[in-house]
Amino acid sequence: MRPPDPITLSAVAEALAAPVCGDGSVPLRRLVHPAEATEPTDLVMVLDPRLAGAIGGSPIRAAVLASGIVPPAGALAGWIVVPRPRLALSVLLELFARPPHAPPGVHPTAAVDPAARLGDGVSIGPFAYVGPNAEVGAGSRIMAHVSIGADARIGTDCLLYPGVRVGERVVVGDRVILHHNVSLGADGFSFVSAEPAGYEIARGDTVDTPMRDIRRIGSIGTVVIGDDVEIGANSAVDRANIGATVIGRGTKIDNQVQVGHNARIGEDCLISGQAGISGSVRIGNRVVIAGQAGIADHVTIGDDAVVGGSSGVGRDVPAGRIVMGTPAVSRSLWRTRLLAVGRAGRLLRELAALRRRTNVEK
């Protein structure tokens, strides 16, 4: 494979909006870990002061350094110092990205309905399917084995990795990234029994009435994904019963996340892996939901709230509140309860020791 064209350290500094120390004309071809640098055209990013010493024995001539890290004297021709390393890393990874192979045009094995509309520069990969009246916006890349249902719309400059399933009438905004095997628009998990089910009417600890004749509640709604959303591998966003399940602009969803029917998630949210969001949940803007958290149906979570990992949220969370635990409570109360459990265990141990000393039977 032909190596990428080099860019200069000055061009990297411009992208980072940071000044160059030393020679900005150093040519660079790839971004690598400091321990893996083998060529003078390699660029490394050093976040840990303990790795700074390794620069001296490396062939590299340029580096990006976190604030406070000083390169060994004479080791580099040029370097850039950044105050917010993770933000700089995001810029660098985009600058040195190696995009998937997706040449423009329709692969011979793809099935594109004659009534589908494809924008300029669209790539349709092997064994992909685009249904009747579906639309794929300009510059979007549809990888192998992706299916796009009838009347669905994919915006411009999107990237759909292999195995993605976009159901009929689903709407996907611009610059959306859907990773492997994402499902948009499966029916929601909605069922009802002919008579009230035992779990619905139980008042004690047991179910007295068996559940029979389960009937599905169909989903005739859709899914709407906003611009600049990214959804991780094997995640699912279910179709609304009526109306739309909505993911707001700029929200990022991790792998193996479930979003139930009729849920509405706001803008710029971060939802970590294996979180479960039940039907008809309302999530505000800029909300953070940590891994394996579960949100019960019809719960509302306000703007800027944070839900801790493995938390079980069964009631509304006010805007800006941090909650943790199951059932989820404010972080301060959760810490108090955790300390209380620790103290209780210590008291029990002290009591057992006292009994042994006084020969008092348990």
pLDDT digits (tens, 9 = 90+) for 85-111: 999 999 999 999 888 999 999 999 999
The chain-wide mean pLDDT, for the chain, equals 92
pLDDT tens by residue, 296-342: 999 999 999 999 999 999 999 999 999 999 999 998 888 887 777 77
Write the CA distances from 5 to 8, 91, 182, integer angstroms. Answer: 10, 18, 33
Cα–Cα distance for residue pair 302/268, rounded to 1 Å = 13
Which among 144, 116, 134, 129 is positioned nearest to 170, based on CA atoms? 134
pLDDT tens by residue, 50-89: 877 778 778 999 999 999 998 888 889 999 999 999 999 9
165 bridge partner residues = 147, 183
Give the predicted TM-score (pTM) of the model: 0.87
Which among 180, 151, 175 is positioned nearest to 165, based on CA atoms? 180
The CATH architecture annotation of domain 107-330 reads 3 Solenoid (2.160)
Cα–Cα distance for residue pair 310/292, rounded to 1 Å = 5
**Contacts of residue 309, Cβ cutoff 8 Å, sequence gap at least 6:** 272, 290, 291, 292, 293
Contacts 24+ apart (CB under 8 A), 130-137: 131/168, 137/174
Contact 263/280 with Cβ under 8 angstroms?
A: yes
The domain spans of the chain are 7-95, 107-330
Three-state secondary structure string covering 191-255: EEECCCCHHHHCCCCCCCCCCCCEEECCCCCEEEECCCCEECCCCEEECCCCCEEEECCCCEECC
User: What class is the 7-95 domain?
Assistant: alpha beta
Q: Indicate if 107-330 has the same CATH topology as 7-95.
A: no
142 bridge partner residues = 124, 160
**Residues 2-15: what's their mean pLDDT?**
86
* pLDDT recorded at residue 314: 96
For the annotated catalytic residues, the residue numbers are 261
The residue behind tokens 């249904």 is 131
**Residues 263-288: what's their mean pLDDT?**
98
The residue behind tokens 């050093």 is 46
Percent of the chain with pLDDT over 70: 97
Give the three-state DSSP class for 162: coil
Helices 85-95 and 9-16 sit at what angle, rounded to 10 degrees? 130
